[in-house]
């Protein structure tokens, strides 16, 4: 399994790097990361943009799938659905934890829960990853 | 109704500005925008990151709701669901068109269709906006 | 392509038969059906149960996929997401129209719009069908 | 709080009654119910119809919300999204457990996990309930 540092290095030049996603934990059924709520990740009113929640979560679910792929396979997200529950204010940090609900041969399903640093629930994102021949 | 330029100016320092979202058309039941697929909006393999699709669409649906809000009201997204259908390659442009499926007093529902410059379907995002007292 | 009567006959002993789903139109990119809002399809207050909307739509999207399957393939729904917009009263009829948003080799995406007999929008259901070897 | 029997009695003449939903446990943050996979709840091939999963879950999430409503309030489902993960065969029983992810003044979010009698994961349904003045 790749290390946190190896995956972080892959993410850096990509969209998660632009956003400042910081991987913290990488386990076969669980991925954790942090995100600082910068002003340029916000919507009006100084709260984290809904799209930033979704992009943050999408990254975690995809990373979780990739570290579970058999050799010769690749993955693509087919579906993602999000419940927005609470706002996260600028200059705070949110923590995303993605857990595998299902790791099958054809699809994997990951659910990411995003919380404020104080543990307040902000959003829940559930995504389906299709497993395809590479 | 605000102009495209007025809304664009509001978006600039926010997450849509970081991504480079460019508003094109603003009508009461329809919002259109463009996005250049920059390398730092991509995932591995040089295709637009799923999170970028979702953040792009979320912006359009929220803008569409805001221009329909009665005085003294504000909005928040409660739900968003996305079908990813086709990839968009780096250095191309995608076009998002968001149309109102429902504009009620309590909720509005907007659906955003994202296509490549050639018209190939990339993603469909449907979101619910709650209408609240400001 | 099978006829409306042939598909209706297959549905009769199944869940759509229990509910009273009546197929009306069967085209490669469009399936239409009707449903009478019986009391035993309702929730409290005499309005169509949210689950009945979803089961009605799921049937249409699955039928639409099946009539598009290449030989030697089968399908299963992986994801479904629903926006509930308006209620349908007992003893009225609702009409569901499902259209193909995407008909690919690996997945198909169908979106079903449910309206009252007067054309009022009740619900929108978008579902992903995986195409698998039979 | 109402008892399991009181809620069951309300459900009997409604869609959950037609399907045979049997409430088992009713707690402020958790609702459990069973469903026998009758032939007339199935799709082709003798597996539980996707719509039956969704209607079963929708019932649990709505019941969970209702038992949490303050006086003078009512609820309606605005959004539901489902991941289908495994099939349930005819003549078996499935168990649905719905837990509150969020119980706010404006919305509640409930997630229902449906498993086979042996504990195999079949589906996960997440729904948003709007809380309105009665």
Average pLDDT, chain D: 97
Average pLDDT over residues A109-133: 97
Identify the domain containing residue A80 by its residue range: 4-133
Q: Are B40 and A18 in contact (CB under 8 A)?
A: yes
The label of the residue with tokens 């995100």 reads A35
> Residue D119: is its pLDDT beyond 90?
yes
Percentage above 90 pLDDT, chain D: 98
Rounded to the nearest integer, the mean pLDDT of chain A is 97
Report the domain count for chain B.
Answer: 1
Q: Which residues of B touch A83 (CB under 8 A)?
A: 78-79
- Using the predicted structure, report yes or no on whether residue C131 has a pLDDT greater than 90: yes
Task: Tell me the shortest Cα–Cα distance from C115 to chain D, in angstroms.
Answer: 16
D128 and B79 in contact by Cβ < 8 A? yes
Alpha carbon separation from C16 to B12, C34, D44, D51 (Å, rounded): 50, 11, 11, 9
Check residue B70 and report its DSSP letter.
Answer: P
Residue A123, C-beta contacts closer than 8 angstroms, at least 6 positions apart: A53, A54, A57, A82, A83, A84, A85, A86, A113, A114
Tokens of D107: 């919305």
Ranges of chain B whose pLDDT falls below 70: none
Among candidate residues A46, A42, A56, the one with its CA nearest the CA of residue B16 = A42
- In angstroms and rounded to an integer, the radius of gyration of the C-alpha atoms of chain A is 14
pLDDT in tens, C32-89: 999 999 999 999 999 999 999 999 999 999 999 999 999 999 999 999 999 999 999 9
CA distances from D91 to C40, D36, D88 (A): 23, 7, 9
> pTM for the whole thing?
0.97
D10-44: per-residue pLDDT in tens?
A: 999 999 999 999 999 999 999 999 999 999 999 99
Between vectors from CA C112 to CA C107 and to CA C116, what angle results, nearest 5°? Answer: 175
Sign of CA dihedral D126, C31, D86, D26: positive
Nearest to A79 among C106, C128, C132 (CB): C128
CA D17 to chain centre: 12
- List of chains touching B (3+ CB pairs within 8 A): A, C, D
Alpha-carbon gap, residue D31 to D4, rounded angstroms: 10
Pairs of residues, one from chain A and one from chain D, whose beta carbons lie less than 8 Å apart: 38
Test mutation, A2, A15, A90, A125, chain B, max B CBs within 10 A: A15
User: Which of C78, C106, C132 faces A128 most closely, judged by CB atoms?
Assistant: C78
Residue D61 has pLDDT above 90, yes or no: yes
- Which CATH number covers residue A88? 3.10.129.10
Instruction: Kindly determine whether residue C15 and residue D52, on different chains, have CB atoms separated by under 8 Å.
Output: yes
Q: Is the pLDDT of residue C1 over 90?
A: no
- Interface residue B67 vs chain A (CB under 8 A): no
ipTM of predicted assembly, 2 dp:
0.97
Instruction: With CB atoms and an 8 Å threshold, state whether D124 touches A126.
Output: yes
10 Å CB burial of residue B129 (0-12, 13-18, 19+) is: buried
CA B38 to the chain's CA centroid: 17
pLDDT at site D1: 85
Closest alpha carbon to D21 in D44, D66, D52:
D52
B124 reaches C (C-beta below 8 A): yes
Residue A85 near chain D (CB below 8 Å): yes
Q: How far apart (Å, rounded) are the C-alpha atoms in residues D134 and B133?
A: 18
* A20 contacts on B by Cβ (under 8 Å): none
Strands A47-48 and A22-27 turn out to be: unpaired
Contacts of D12 (CB under 8 A, 6+ apart): none
What would the pLDDT profile of A20-64 be if each residue is shown by its tens digit?
Answer: 999 999 999 999 999 999 999 999 999 999 999 999 999 999 999
Amino acid B110: pLDDT:
98
Judged by a CB distance cut-off of 8 A, whether residue B9 touches chain D is no
Stretch A89-112: mean pLDDT: 97
């Amino acid at each position: 399994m790749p290390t946190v540092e190896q995956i972080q290095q892959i993410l850096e030049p990509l969209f998660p790097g632009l956003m400042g996603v910081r991987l913290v934990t990488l386990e076969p059924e669980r991925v954790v990361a942090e995100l600082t709520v910068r002003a340029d990740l916000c919507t009006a009113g100084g709260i984290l943009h809904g799209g930033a929640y979704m992009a943050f979560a999408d990254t975690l679910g995809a990373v979780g799938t990739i570290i579970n792929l058999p050799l010769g396979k690749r993955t693509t997200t087919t579906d993602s659905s999000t419940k927005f529950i609470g706002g996260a204010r600028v200059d705070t940090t949110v923590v995303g934890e993605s857990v595998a609900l299902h790791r099958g041969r054809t699809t994997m399903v990951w659910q990411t829960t995003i919380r404020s640093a104080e543990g307040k629930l902000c959003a829940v994102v559930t995504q389906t990853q299709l497993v395809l021949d590479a």
